[in-house]
Amino acid sequence: MDFHPDPELEAFREEVRTFLREKLPADLAHLSIGMFSPGEAIRRWQKILHDHGWAAPSWGKQHGGTGWSVEQKLIFDEECVVAGAPTQDGFGQNLLGPVLNEFATPEQWQAHVPPTLRGERLWCQGFSEPGSGSDLASLRTRAERRGGNYVVNGQKIWTSYAHRADWIFLLVRTDPEAKKQAGISFLLADMKTPGITVRPIISIDGHHHLNEVFFDEVEVPAGNLIGAEGMGWGITKFLLNNEHATTADLPNLKMLLRKMKELAIERRIGTTRLIDRSEVALQIAAFDTELRAMAMMVSRTAAMHGDQGHFAHAFGSMLKIRATDLQQRMSVFVVELLGDGGAAAAPAPGAEYSAEMFFRRAATIYGGSSEVQRGIVAKLMFGL
Amino acid sequence: MDFALNDEQQMLSDSVARFVQSEYGFEARTRLVVAGEGGSPANWRTFAENGWLAAAFPDEFGGFGGGAIENAVIAEQFGRGLVIESWLGCAVLAAQTLAASGDAASKAEWLPSLADGSRRLALAWSEPESRGVPHIVGTRATGQAGGYRLSGRKTLVLGGCGADALLVSARSEGAIGDRAGIGLFLVEAGAAGLSVLPAPLHDGSLAATVILNDAPARMVAGDGLAALEHGIAHAMLALSAELVGAMGQSIEITADYVRTRKQFGVTIGSFQSLQHRLADMAAEMELARSMLFAALAAFENDDAATRRVAIAGAKAFVTEAARNVCGQGIQLHGGIGMTDECAIGHYFKRAIVADALFGTRSVHAAACAEALAADLDTQGGAEGVSGKEEREFA
């Protein structure tokens, strides 16, 4: 055990800052609402990162990534948030990307990864269905092999950003006879394929992040099957394991803390600044402390990558439980600091803080709800 | 950063774990508690022989050149066994305060014999009104020909009973809360005017209440507050590590129990409400361990002000986690968890005692809040917090 920081990290931080100062266009900064930035901002920013050689900050060099250490990646994220840079496409970067790096054929990799890294292809994730939420393996969207195609029929729901995605990766049932998990396969489909219909779902933050996606006799080339038929569930478990360090959303937690501090200095109760009220200072300091612990827990999780042991898996679930809970408590407290403004649906910026808070209610539901995560921890850690 | 134990740390951890397993079963521990002497001399010899008393001492004084991390490794295993010997008070708190005092003669005189276990030193710093704040000192030091005389009352002196000498914080000038004028003094056991009264704690360990009535003393440091704060920081880190171990063990004990206890014809571990409670306990413990790591990192890397906040925050956070997790351990045991002969309740007792040591949660939370407010003031308002662009957004 050794907690000395890498002496080269500060130089790296400076390098990131310089890059952001020089390359981040002013009109791209400070656009993030909810999970991701607007699609066009993501595309332009991804192209800039790509041209700089930083297209995939969390991938190894052998896959076209930066090969950064965990600490470097965290510094990169942190500086990007401070500078107000757009997000990257988390679906391509953190979920599908590692899957393609692990399971795709060289031809498949070549067809999908380079355009993704250039910002020319945004992805969405077609997992949940109306009847299959936590019980994902009960999914019913059917893919039938006909000649050189799979013909897909069914419905996906809660599909974030499907309305602006170029492609979707989805789970389909290729063998209705096989037991639950065994009949599931992993497909990639172009969202422009005839028969795909996207319908918006407006969420409680008033924004359009979510969609229903309908598949009606959609023909997907058989070459878009990742892995073998029936391997979809194994790939999904691999993918979800990669998701945990990301769902903690540390940059967002740090942003929430900064907003709190800002409001506590600027807003007053009578003539007293909020920060000079003990109940406010105590609460912000407690979040500050908990966030320090959370940041270390994220580092510990990230350091476990590659280790597919039970403990690493359970640890990811524990991180998700605690980090999403913290996101919710912190975003609620930001709204509390707005005072009367916390009730108002307009104008910005207060209303945007509230929208962010409403959006965060999804954090304990998506990517495996907190209840599902607790079940995983109990099973893996205690054999219950 | 590297989160895995290196070879030496792993050996250290394993050796302490073996000791706890073989010598500190719940029944053996209960016998030590009932004897009421704050542990056994034989165990102390084992600590000395294995180098656990001096893991964080410099080599020149018979130590092993480690630091707070090595102490944390030992403390975690001690926490698993609820070890009652005053390793925390003597080998960490008093020893690290003395080591930081800068008095070469006293260090040469004391540290080697603390390392080999032949003598014990306890630190008497807390007073009824200090509440975890080391510079709240009412005990008075008066210069006399040939030395000093101390008068005052010290509470929660860990390892005070049976110590060969006490290292005492006392004020030679100023008012009770002033940061200046606080010295460190050595008072030999048996000195005239010194009373060391046993103070049994809830967790079965033994502290002392110390009454000084014009007791003769030797000055170790005229300005001793920095050394005192350093020693207490070391102790808060070790205590936090101990609580991480205590939480880990109480979770294991509880998991074992729910796997075997049957109600309604099934093991109670088959109930989802209990499964989820255990999962939450595990998550809380791992977040507390992360907090400990963050505090250890700050202790090694950061400036004094940042360290102080990081360690105070960690102490508050980990203690609160321990009270929650160990309290839930009792809950999941049901009625049997309330009995004195069941181990689980004793973990909760240790968590309660730990909160009172070195300042309670609310005291440290308030210190963090004050530091935060002061920090925001010196940064000159919101621009220092988040930069200009973000203000426009806000």
Query: Which of B247, B361, B372, B378 to probe by mutation at the A interface, max A CB count within 10 Å?
Result: B372
What percentage of chain A reaches a pLDDT higher than 90? 77
Chain A contacts of B314, Cβ < 8 Å? 289, 293
pLDDT (tens digit, 9 = 90+) per residue, B86-128?
Answer: 999 999 999 999 999 988 999 999 999 999 999 999 999 999 9
Whether residue A252 is found in the same domain as residue A374: yes
Is A318 in CB contact (< 8 Å) with chain B? yes
B87 burial (CB, 10 Å; 0-12 / 13-18 / 19+) is buried
Q: Which listed CATH number (3.40.50.261, 1.20.120.350, 1.20.140.10, 1.10.3720.10) goes with B227-378?
A: 1.20.140.10
Query: Three-class SS string for A306-365?
Result: CCCCHHHHHHHHHHHHHHHHHHHHHHHHHHHHCHHHHHCCCCCCHHHHHHHHHHHHHHHC
CB pairs A-B closer than 8 Å: 181
Whether residue A26 is found in the same domain as residue A53: yes
Whether residue A271 is found in the same domain as residue A331: yes
Residue length, chain B?
A: 394
Q: Which of A230, A265, A288 is the last residue of a domain?
A: A230
Beta-sheet pairing, A272-273 with B165-171: unpaired
Beta-bridge partners for A149: A146, A221
Q: How far apart are CA B352 and CA B203, in angstroms?
A: 8
Q: How far apart are CA B28 and CA B22, in angstroms?
A: 9
B365/A285 CB distance under 8 A? yes
Q: Which of A71, A88, A105 is the last residue of a domain?
A: A88
Q: How far apart are CA A149 and CA A383, in angstroms?
A: 42
Classify domain B7-119 by CATH number: 1.10.540.10
The pLDDT of residue B393 is above 60: no
* Secondary structure of residue B152 in the 3-state scheme: strand
Query: Least CA distance to A317: which residue of chain B?
Result: B283
Q: From the CA of B50, how many Å to the nearest CA of chain A?
A: 20
Predicted confidence at residue A34, as pLDDT, reads: 56
Q: Which of residues 190-249 of B touch A (CB under 8 A)?
A: none
Whether residue A161 is found in the same domain as residue A62: no
Mean pLDDT, all residues of chain A: 92
B265 burial (CB, 10 Å; 0-12 / 13-18 / 19+) is exposed
For residue A106, being part of any structural domain is answered with no
The pLDDT of residue B386 is above 50: no
Query: Three-class SS string for A80-140?
Result: HHHHCCCCCCHHHHHHHHHHHHHHCCHHHHHHHHHHHHCCCCCEEEECCECCECCCHHHCC
Picking from B259, B276, B372, the nearest residue to A371 by CB comes out as B276
For residue A284, being part of any structural domain is answered with yes
For residue A117, being part of any structural domain is answered with no
Whether residue A215 is found in the same domain as residue A176: yes
A262/B390 CB distance under 8 A? yes
pLDDT-based confidence at B19, cuts 50/70/90? very high
Q: From the CA of A314, how many Å to the nearest CA of chain B?
A: 9
| Residues 6+ positions from B139 with CB-CB distance below 8 Å | B127, B150, B151, B152, B153, B154, B168, B169, B170, B171, B212
For residue A236, being part of any structural domain is answered with no
Whether residue A175 is found in the same domain as residue A203: yes
Mean pLDDT, all residues of chain B: 94
Domain hosting residue A344, numbered range: 248-382
Query: Least CA distance to B255: which residue of chain A?
Result: A382
Q: How far apart are CA A21 and CA A19, in angstroms?
A: 5
Helices A232-247 + A278-303 axis angle, to 10: 140
The CATH number of the domain holding residue A300 is 1.20.140.10
For residue A300, being part of any structural domain is answered with yes
Predicted confidence at residue A251, as pLDDT, reads: 83
Is A342 in CB contact (< 8 Å) with chain B? no
Residue B113 main-chain phi, psi, to 5 deg: -80, -25
> What single DSSP character describes residue A186?
E
Q: How far apart are CA B324 and CA B312, in angstroms?
A: 19
Q: What is the mean pLDDT of residues B214-241?
A: 97
Query: Least CA distance to B363: which residue of chain A?
Result: A282
pLDDT (tens digit, 9 = 90+) per residue, B157-168?
Answer: 999 999 999 999
Predicted confidence at residue B380, as pLDDT, reads: 54
The pLDDT of residue A35 is above 70: no
Predicted confidence at residue A307, as pLDDT, reads: 58
pLDDT-based confidence at B394, cuts 50/70/90? very low
- Of residues B175 and A134, the one with the higher pLDDT is B175
> What single DSSP character describes residue B184?
E
| Residues 6+ positions from A88 with CB-CB distance below 8 Å | A42, A45, A46, A49, A57
Tokens of B319: 């203690």
pLDDT (tens digit, 9 = 90+) per residue, A105-155?
Answer: 999 999 999 999 999 999 999 999 999 988 999 999 999 999 999 999 999
Where b means 16+ CB within 10 Å and e means fewer, B93-112 reads bbbbbbbbbebeebbeebbb
Beta-sheet pairing, A268-269 with A272-273: antiparallel
Q: What is the mean pLDDT of residues B19-23?
A: 97
B279/A321 CB distance under 8 A? yes
DSSP string, B232-246: HHHHHHHHHHHHHHH
pLDDT-based confidence at B279, cuts 50/70/90? very high
Q: Are B283 and B387 in contact (CB under 8 A)?
A: no
Picking from B1, B255, B369, the nearest residue to A382 by CB comes out as B255
Where b means 16+ CB within 10 Å and e means fewer, A171-201 reads bbbbeeeeeeebbbbbbbbebeeeebebeee
Residue B147 main-chain phi, psi, to 5 deg: 155, -155
B275/A261 CB distance under 8 A? no
The CATH number of the domain holding residue A197 is 2.40.110.10
The pLDDT of residue A221 is above 90: yes
pLDDT (tens digit, 9 = 90+) per residue, B303-336?
Answer: 999 999 999 999 999 999 999 999 999 999 999 9
Q: What is the mean pLDDT of residues A176-198?
A: 96
> What is the count of structural domains for chain A?
3
Q: What is the mean pLDDT of residues B366-374?
A: 96
* Secondary structure of residue B115 in the 3-state scheme: helix
Beta-bridge partners for B263: B266
CATH 1.10.540.10, chain B: domain bounds: 7-119
Whether residue A279 is found in the same domain as residue A371: yes
For residue A79, being part of any structural domain is answered with yes
Q: How far apart are CA A159 and CA A126, in angstroms?
A: 6
Q: Are A256 and A327 in contact (CB under 8 A)?
A: yes
Residue B123 main-chain phi, psi, to 5 deg: -100, 125
Whether residue A202 is found in the same domain as residue A268: no
Whether residue A258 is found in the same domain as residue A372: yes
Whether residue A208 is found in the same domain as residue A257: no
Query: Peptide bond preceding B41: is omega within 30 degrees of 0, i.e. cis?
Result: no
For residue A100, being part of any structural domain is answered with no
Q: Which fold has domain B122-223?
A: Butyryl-CoA Dehydrogenase, subunit A; domain 2 (2.40.110)
For residue A109, being part of any structural domain is answered with no
* Secondary structure of residue B322 in the 3-state scheme: helix
CATH 1.20.140.10, chain B: domain bounds: 227-378
Whether residue A158 is found in the same domain as residue A205: yes
A243 is catalytic: yes
Whether residue A262 is found in the same domain as residue A296: yes
CATH 2.40.110.10, chain B: domain bounds: 122-223
Q: Which of residues 309-328 of B touch A (CB under 8 A)?
A: 310, 313-314, 316-317
Give Cα B7 distance to the centre of its chain: 25
Predicted confidence at residue A350, as pLDDT, reads: 85
Tokens of A11: 């130089």
Query: Which of B12, B385, B388, B391 to probe by mutation at the A interface, max A CB count within 10 Å?
Result: B385
Q: Are A122 and A89 in contact (CB under 8 A)?
A: yes
pLDDT-based confidence at A306, cuts 50/70/90? low
Query: Which of B290, B364, B391 to probe by mutation at the A interface, max A CB count within 10 Å?
Result: B290
The pLDDT of residue A226 is above 60: yes
Q: Among the options A243, A279, A290, A352, which is catalytic?
A: A243
The pLDDT of residue B30 is above 90: yes
The pLDDT of residue A36 is above 80: no
B372/A373 CB distance under 8 A? no
Query: Least CA distance to A256: which residue of chain B?
Result: B386
Q: How far apart are CA A247 and CA A242, in angstroms?
A: 10
Q: Are A379 and B279 in contact (CB under 8 A)?
A: no
Is A259 in CB contact (< 8 Å) with chain B? yes
- B13 conformational bin, left if phi > 0, alpha if psi -120 to 50, beta if neither: alpha
Chain B contacts of A382, Cβ < 8 Å? 255, 259, 269, 275, 278, 282
Is A216 in CB contact (< 8 Å) with chain B? no
Q: How far apart are CA A4 and CA B178, in angstroms?
A: 34
Is A5 in CB contact (< 8 Å) with chain B? yes
